[in-house]
Chain A
Amino acid sequence: MPTILRCKCIIVGDATVGKSSITQVFHSDGSHFPKNYVMTQGVEVLVKLVNIPETSDSVEMYIYDTAGKEIFSDFVKRLWDHPSVIMVVYDCTSETSFSSCVKWLERVRAQSPNTQIPGALIANKVDLEQRRIISPKKGQELAQANKLEYFECSAKEMQNVDTPFFYLANEFHKVYEERAELFNSLS
């Protein structure tokens, strides 16, 4: 039996940056594991299985996509309990969405302040080249300053949407391997 890890992926960012589009594109594309829960109060959880290369292991990603205003409720706080990985999204045509990223990141990290949580920073809507105002360099710098991996994608053109999810699944799998080794060394 292959090992299946379970990974809670919290996707955050300002309204309209493309969180739901990214989640839907990733979820619908060639999925062999279609499960879909629509939950009350504006939170949707989508599940997708990601295989880890060169192993027989896989990671079941539970992607928590939260809609706008419910984000401050106690309900959402409880749902965000024990985040496994974080995806912070901004719209590369919006300065405001870019400057909100740190706030979103801190809000999720505050759920487990002493746990190392793998994270990705996503510049979405890169298809809108003419309107782009946040350069790749600015994105990379923000990512680096906050220990995130930087990615660019376009949910609209279905460009590079899977890559950050695969990255996060792999990072989570690495953490598991490290912990299993640590558990082995105890007692």
Chain B
Amino acid sequence: MFDVALSPAGAQIALATSSDEKHPPENIIDGNAETFWSTTGMFPQEVVIKFQTLMRITNVHISSYNVKKLKLEASETEDSNKYDTIAETELEETDSQLQQEEIQLGEKRAHSLRIVIESGFDHFVSLHKVVVSGQAMHH
């Protein structure tokens, strides 16, 4: 198993609903928890990570701040709008430290992963790092 949501591993940000160029969404797949993507107001917010190829993924670890309700959706094809919800979770509020949320998926197939932040504990939330454990599917 590898972290397939790393830019050196070919992962890309396909879409994000907020953009402050000082804190771009690419910061969540750079492997560094010090850099972050910041939302810029209102909910819901979403970011889509596109993997290099179709992956079999087993769990997702998210380092974040002020996120309340979160939903994970997966799409199996390269550029489809068809997403299936694979996990939904409500996070605990933390005080001056990152939230560390581990989400077990069993085994899911995904070419891209959509992270939907449905609500937050404050006006703005940050995503610092998303680790997706998985490996390429062999056809």
From B33, B96, B123, give the contact of A172 (CB < 8 A): B123
From B22, B42, B98, give the contact of A187 (CB < 8 A): B98
From B22, B33, B122, give the contact of A3 (CB < 8 A): B22
A50 to B120, CA, bound (A): 24
> A1-15 toward B: CB 8 Å interface, digit per residue (1/0)?
101111110000000
> B28-53 toward A: CB 8 Å interface, digit per residue (1/0)?
00000110101011110000000000
How far is the CB of B4 from the nearest CB of chain A, in Å?
A: 22
A183 touches B40 (CB 8 A): no
Write out the residue numbers on chain A whose beta carbons fall within 8 Å of the beta carbon of B18: 6
Q: How many A-B residue pairs have CB under 8 A?
A: 76
From A62, A82, A183, give the contact of B65 (CB < 8 A): A183
Residue from the set B119, B120, B124 with the largest chain A CB neighbour count within 10 Å:
B124
Write out the residue numbers on chain B whose beta carbons fall within 8 Å of the beta carbon of A8: 41-42
Interface of A is mostly: mixed
Tally of chain B residues near chain A (CB < 8 A)? 27
B123 touches A175 (CB 8 A): yes
Residue from the set A4, A176, A187 with the largest chain B CB neighbour count within 10 Å:
A187
B23 within 8 A of A: yes
> A118-162 toward B: CB 8 Å interface, digit per residue (1/0)?
000000000000000000000000000000000000000000000
A82-B128 in contact given A3-B19, A187-B33, A187-B34 (Cβ < 8 Å): no
Please give me the residue from chain A that is nearest to B128 by CB atom. A187
Please give me the residue from chain A that is nearest to B24 by CB atom. A1
Write out the residue numbers on chain A whose beta carbons fall within 8 Å of the beta carbon of B36: 183-184, 186-187
> Which residues of chain A from 11 to 44 have any CB-CB distance to chain B below 8 Å in the complex?
none
Please give me the residue from chain B that is nearest to A175 by CB atom. B123
Please give me the residue from chain A that is nearest to B19 by CB atom. A1
A3 touches B20 (CB 8 A): yes
B21 within 8 A of A: yes
A179 within 8 A of B: yes
Please give me the residue from chain A that is nearest to B120 by CB atom. A82
A183 touches B126 (CB 8 A): yes
Write out the residue numbers on chain B whose beta carbons fall within 8 Å of the beta carbon of A5: 40-41
A115-B123 in contact given A1-B21, A3-B20 (Cβ < 8 Å): yes
A73 within 8 A of B: no
From B19, B38, B42, B123, give the contact of A183 (CB < 8 A): B38
Write out the residue numbers on chain B whose beta carbons fall within 8 Å of the beta carbon of A3: 19-22, 40
Q: Which residues of A contact B (CB under 8 A)?
A: 1, 3-8, 59, 62, 81-82, 84, 114-115, 172, 175-176, 179-180, 182-187
16 contacts across the A-B interface (CB closer than 8 A)? A4-B40, A8-B42, A81-B43, A82-B42, A84-B123, A172-B123, A176-B41, A179-B38, A180-B22, A180-B38, A183-B128, A185-B96, A186-B96, A186-B126, A186-B128, A187-B34
Interface contacts beyond A179-B126, A184-B36, A186-B128: sample of 20 additional A-B pairs, CB < 8 Å, sorted by A: A3-B19, A3-B22, A5-B40, A6-B40, A7-B42, A81-B43, A82-B123, A84-B41, A84-B42, A172-B123, A176-B41, A180-B38, A183-B36, A183-B126, A185-B96, A186-B36, A186-B97, A186-B98, A187-B63, A187-B128
